[in-house]
Structure 1
Amino acid sequence: MPIVRDAAYAVFQHFGVDALFGNPGSTELPMLQAMPSDIAYVLGLNEAVVVAMADGYAQATGRPALVNLHSAAGTGNGLGSLFTAYRGGAPLVITAGQQARSLLPRDPFLGAERATEFPRPYVKWAAEPLRAQDVPAALIRAFHIALTPPTGPVFVSIPVDDWDRDCPMPTLPFLSLTSFPDPAGITKIAGMLDNATRPALVLGAGIARCGAWDQAIALAEKTGADVWVAPLTGREVFPENHARFAGFLPGYEERLVALLNGYDMVLVAGAPAFTWHAEGRASAWPQGTAMALLSDDPQHLAILPRGTGVLGDVRGGLLALVEQVRQREGPVSTARHPIPLPARALSPAHVMARVAALRPDRAIIVEEAPTARDAMHDHLPVTQVGGFYTTPAGGLGYGLPAAIGIARARPGNKVICLLGDGSSMYTSQGLWSAADQQADVSFIILNNGGYAALNNFARRFGLNELPGTTIAGIDFLALAESHGVPGRRVVAVEELDPALAWSFQTSGPTLLEVRVI
């Protein structure tokens, strides 16, 4: 009869795990004994870094990522990144150490009281098996739940003395977890598109998660529909240099409704309708505009305010729509106007334009620079599948470590990680992991000396001055070099291109601090 540890590693290998992301503690040490040689231990210096690295890795590979946290304290440290993973649909299987079962009735040091409740509601499922021999079966269930659409993180608390206990080896089943949309619903949406004079597609991150990039392009080209990116989308969904691409919808109701006014049919795919950033003026949905929604997330259908909703695999649904709708030509999208190149100055817009001009082929963009997002949309188009990642939840600290996980998943691609100076400090310990793994990441910090995005957002609430938004005195080069990452500082516009060329041509991690105006 095997022991729990051996059975657990058999489960991990069955589901294609080749890395364990963690920051070890005493209640996890027995798990780490006799790790198989084909599973690497990826160390992060705190749990927020660990979870975000695993998130990036899972998103970029399309496979589940395994995370190990240290009891309640480590789980607490990782909760911000766990919230982001939950909102982004990252299939993470998180194990957390628990004190020995014999000590739990006596409130021991490092004991996690009600361990399964702590990460909720930002996991799809949480369990602490009642017996040691049930741990492998719980892990199998965890992987299945994490991988069932809509994908997301799960959590298993495992007492420290379970790993060396005897257990039966459970059967390792193969399950097909994708469910095809109702054909009648697809036929109805196809009819709505055929009857529309001017249709639009609104695409969300579900497109990237199910691999529907090509199907979205095919549907847009066959129907002549304009394509918009859904509000606050964290992944690439459509080539932004395509003639049918219209632009990015805002998370403000009155502005979004105005942009969609004039379309007589809107199909939302892989996103809710819609994600709002702040309360706005109530805006009436354009008269005569029909809506349909296709998603693998039942919550998206539950909050659908109007129209037709169809539940199921987005890729399969789009493929069926391409086969059913009639071919027609649509004019080149007039929604997105040509944007002139910015003035030659150290502005976010100029930096984005130069990154676009100098980036290596197949480079992947990871962004967490909220102040520069509009400039990125205007001057740094995402044109390839798997080419873009950003936080889907609004919390900071995702970008830097996620870029490291993405680089591990995509070793043939340079990763360009665009960070604000405030964003970069949330998980700066990740620089050590980047150096340790020799992750091929160009970190670019756009330093404007504060939380400028928050100051901009404050104006929506009528606030002219906001405390706690000035950041000064941080030496980003010293910070990077202390973690083993070489860096350069750019303070003049003529220094930008040589610095970008150096960073993009260097193998392994580098950091540029750009003093933007």
Structure 2
Amino acid sequence: MRTVRESALDVLRARGMTTVFGNPGSTELPMLKQFPDDFRYVLGLQEAVVVGMADGFALASGTTGLVNLHTGPGTGNAMGAILNARANRTPMVVTAGQQVRAMLTMEALLTNPQSTLLPQPAVKWAYEPPRAADVAPALARAVQIAETPPQGPVFVSLPMDDFDVVLGEDEDRAALRTAARTVTHAAAPSAEVVRGLAARLAGARSAVLVAGNDVDASGAWDAVVELADRTGLPVWSAPTEGRVAFPKSHPQYRGTLPPAIAPLSRCLEGHDLVLVIGAPVFCYYPHVPGAHLPEGTELVHLTRDAEEAARAPVGDAVVADLALTVRALLAELPVREAAAPAARIARAESTAEVDGVLTPLAAMTAIAQGAPANTLWVNESPSNLGQFHEATRIDTPGSFLFTAGGGLGFGLAAAVGAQLGAPDRPVVCVIGDGSTHYAVQALWTAAAYKVPVTFVVLSNQRYAILQWFAQVEGAQGAPGLDIPGLDVAAIATGYGVRAHRATGFGELTKLVRESALQQDGPVLIDVPVTTELPTL
């Protein structure tokens, strides 16, 4: 006879989920006791860091992340990171311990009194099994829901006295049968819908393509590039790039659309048809009112997310698998020689300094020159994102991670998880000094597990992105936007991470190159930079 613990672990094995990111509390110890040798437990010192690491791990490895939190307080600490995971559409199972069933009614210490309500609306599904025998099947169901497009985090509350309960043979077998099920998500549009879309593209006077995060996540990258090549369409990135969805070195690439209504509409002027693939229509912030589209412009939205299609303010939508849809569309389009695209603007590079301090573009150029070609980039320097993309020109899928949720705390933790999820690739995390401190405890995990991430911290001693928002929103004079006195290198050293301070272009390139090629553990490079605020 086997216990709930043994059955639950076998469910996780069957789903390939043997890496657990956690911060244990007393209610989690019964689940973790006699921890098996074929599982890996990655400890984070704070719950938001734990979820951020699982987020990066899942995105980099293409698997489903597994998180173990401490009942209500731990879940509360992790909520911002869970919201980021939802925005990133990261498949993730978040578990949390619960008080023993005999004391739930009296709400004893560490009872999560409304366990399934606390994580909402950040999760797709929240559940507390009604019986101990339901723990393993609930975990199996959670994985299926997390992996169903649109993918995202789910939550399972697990009473601590369930794990030593002995299961009957039928209950044990039922759980394993549930875990072994496969669900294939490959919904294709009807031939009539595809022909209609092909006709609209062929009849358009000046069509334009907008590619979003889900192009990369869904495996539609090659099909979308072929579509652009076949049609000669100019291509924009959708606002709020959590992943690079189109090669930035491609001659038809035009840049990233601004995340505000009126400026975005101006970018689309002159086009009578906009084809959006794998992105919301559109992710706006700040609010700059205007027409969502230019006069006379139509829009068609291809997405795997029915809710995303429903909330779009303009355009028609097709909800289906992106790769299947684009390939079917290619089969309907006439084979013709595309018009010669406009020449791509040359890559901007800079070694400029202001009063001996590197500009953001100069720092990004130095970092890009030092990083290997197969680098997996993680970014959380929002005020310098334009300079980052200009310097790196990422042109391969699965090579860039940035939170699509807008909340800070993703970058440092996600980079550690990404390196664990993609150990054969160098991971370089470019992050602001303000962003660093939302998940600074991730440095300890990187050092303790010898995770060879290169962290490059761009230090301007302020929340520059907030200073920009203050300008846009007419909120000048708001307090708390400067953060002087930080010594990021000293903090990293305190967590056991080798740290350097780079002040010159060549020194920064050399340090990045040396760090990215080694496997001895994390390295942090602190780089003072000037402040340049974004523009719409």
Which residue does the alignment assign to 1:206?
Answer: 214
Contact 2:349 2:365 (C-alpha < 8 Å) held by counterparts: yes
**1:196-244 deviation per Cα after TM superposition (whole angstroms, max 9, x unaligned):** 2322111111112111111111111111111111111200111100112
Which residue does the alignment assign to 1:390?
Answer: 402
Equivalent position amino acid for 2:135 in 1: V
**C-alpha distance in 2, partners of 1:409/1:365?**
13
TM-score when normalising by structure 2 = 0.93
Which residue does the alignment assign to 1:179?
Answer: 187
Gap change, CA 1:35 and 1:183, over 3 Å in 2 = farther
**1:431-469 deviation per Cα after TM superposition (whole angstroms, max 9, x unaligned):** 011112222211000000111111111101223333101
**C-alpha distance in 1, partners of 2:8/2:468?**
49
**C-alpha distance in 1, partners of 2:97/2:491?**
32
Mean Cα displacement is larger for which, 373-382 or 291-300?
373-382
Contact 1:22 1:69 (C-alpha < 8 Å) held by counterparts: yes
From 237, 244, 261, give the equivalent of 1:236. Answer: 244
**1:339-370 deviation per Cα after TM superposition (whole angstroms, max 9, x unaligned):** 54235220110111122222112001110001
**C-alpha distance in 2, partners of 1:2/1:139?**
17
Contact 1:245 1:333 (C-alpha < 8 Å) held by counterparts: no
**C-alpha distance in 2, partners of 1:430/1:284?**
40
Gap change, CA 1:128 and 1:284, over 3 Å in 2 = closer
* Aligned-partner SS, 2:373: coil
Contact 2:250 2:344 (C-alpha < 8 Å) held by counterparts: no
Q: What runs of 5+ residues in structure 1 fail to find an aligned partner?
A: none
Gap change, CA 1:372 and 1:104, over 3 Å in 2 = same
* Aligned-partner SS, 1:287: coil
Contact 2:261 2:292 (C-alpha < 8 Å) held by counterparts: no
Among the aligned pairs, what percent are the same residue? Answer: 40
Deviation at 1:473, TM superposition (A): 1.6
Which residue does the alignment assign to 2:300?
Answer: 292
Gap change, CA 1:339 and 1:254, over 3 Å in 2 = farther
**C-alpha distance in 1, partners of 2:65/2:351?**
43
Contact 1:399 1:419 (C-alpha < 8 Å) held by counterparts: yes
Contact 1:147 1:177 (C-alpha < 8 Å) held by counterparts: no
Deviation at 1:493, TM superposition (A): 4.1
From 426, 432, 436, give the equivalent of 1:424. Answer: 436
Mean Cα displacement is larger for which, 477-486 or 151-160?
477-486
* Aligned-partner SS, 1:27: coil
Deviation at 1:32, TM superposition (A): 0.9
Contact 1:146 1:152 (C-alpha < 8 Å) held by counterparts: yes
* Aligned-partner SS, 1:446: strand
Which residue does the alignment assign to 2:129?
Answer: 129
Which residue does the alignment assign to 2:224?
Answer: 216
Mean Cα displacement is larger for which, 405-414 or 278-287?
278-287
1:195-344 equivalences in 2 (<5 Å): 195-283=203-291, 285-331=293-339, 333-334=341-342, 337-338=345-346, 340-344=348-352
Which residue does the alignment assign to 2:523?
Answer: 510
Which residue does the alignment assign to 2:22?
Answer: 22
* Aligned-partner SS, 1:431: helix
Deviation at 1:179, TM superposition (A): 2.1
TM-score when normalising by structure 1 = 0.97
Which residue does the alignment assign to 1:403?
Answer: 415
From 380, 405, 408, give the equivalent of 1:368. Answer: 380
**C-alpha distance in 2, partners of 1:369/1:62?**
24
Equivalent position amino acid for 2:524 in 1: L
* Aligned-partner SS, 1:105: coil
**C-alpha distance in 2, partners of 1:109/1:477?**
40
Gap change, CA 1:176 and 1:492, over 3 Å in 2 = closer
Equivalent position amino acid for 1:273 in 2: V
Equivalent position amino acid for 1:137 in 2: P
Equivalent position amino acid for 1:100 in 2: V
**1:230-274 deviation per Cα after TM superposition (whole angstroms, max 9, x unaligned):** 111200111100112111011111111111111221111111111
Equivalent position amino acid for 2:246 in 1: F
Aligned length: 517
* Aligned-partner SS, 2:290: coil
Q: What runs of 5+ residues in structure 2 fail to find an aligned partner?
A: 531-536
Gap change, CA 1:335 and 1:308, over 3 Å in 2 = farther
**C-alpha distance in 2, partners of 1:115/1:83?**
17
**C-alpha distance in 2, partners of 1:492/1:239?**
30
Mean Cα displacement is larger for which, 17-26 or 190-199?
190-199
* Aligned-partner SS, 1:106: coil
1:478-489 equivalences in 2 (<5 Å): 478-489=490-501
Mean Cα displacement is larger for which, 499-508 or 342-351?
499-508
Deviation at 1:139, TM superposition (A): 1.0
**C-alpha distance in 1, partners of 2:77/2:344?**
42
**C-alpha distance in 2, partners of 1:256/1:335?**
22
Equivalent position amino acid for 2:159 in 1: P
**C-alpha distance in 2, partners of 1:19/1:500?**
29
Which residue does the alignment assign to 1:437?
Answer: 449
Deviation at 1:189, TM superposition (A): 1.4
Contact 1:49 1:429 (C-alpha < 8 Å) held by counterparts: yes
* Aligned-partner SS, 2:525: strand
Deviation at 1:335, TM superposition (A): 9.2
1:467 aligns with 2:465: no
Deviation at 1:178, TM superposition (A): 3.1
Equivalent position amino acid for 1:278 in 2: P
Deviation at 1:319, TM superposition (A): 1.5
Mean Cα displacement is larger for which, 68-77 or 456-465?
456-465
Gap change, CA 1:460 and 1:247, over 3 Å in 2 = same
Equivalent position amino acid for 2:280 in 1: P
From 427, 452, 467, give the equivalent of 1:455. Answer: 467
**C-alpha distance in 1, partners of 2:279/2:526?**
35
* Aligned-partner SS, 2:66: strand
Contact 1:148 1:178 (C-alpha < 8 Å) held by counterparts: no
Contact 2:351 2:365 (C-alpha < 8 Å) held by counterparts: no
* Aligned-partner SS, 1:57: helix
Which residue does the alignment assign to 1:51?
Answer: 51
**C-alpha distance in 1, partners of 2:71/2:363?**
43
Gap change, CA 1:332 and 1:394, over 3 Å in 2 = farther
**C-alpha distance in 2, partners of 1:95/1:500?**
37
**C-alpha distance in 2, partners of 1:287/1:425?**
45
Which residue does the alignment assign to 2:533?
Answer: none
Mean Cα displacement is larger for which, 278-287 or 398-407?
278-287
Contact 1:11 1:140 (C-alpha < 8 Å) held by counterparts: yes
From 402, 413, 416, give the equivalent of 2:425. Answer: 413
Equivalent position amino acid for 2:437 in 1: M
Mean Cα displacement is larger for which, 332-341 or 488-497?
332-341
Contact 1:202 1:266 (C-alpha < 8 Å) held by counterparts: yes
From 172, 189, 201, give the equivalent of 2:197. Answer: 189
**C-alpha distance in 1, partners of 2:99/2:159?**
5
Mean Cα displacement is larger for which, 102-111 or 487-496?
487-496
Which residue does the alignment assign to 1:500?
Answer: 512
Equivalent position amino acid for 1:228 in 2: W
* Aligned-partner SS, 2:105: helix
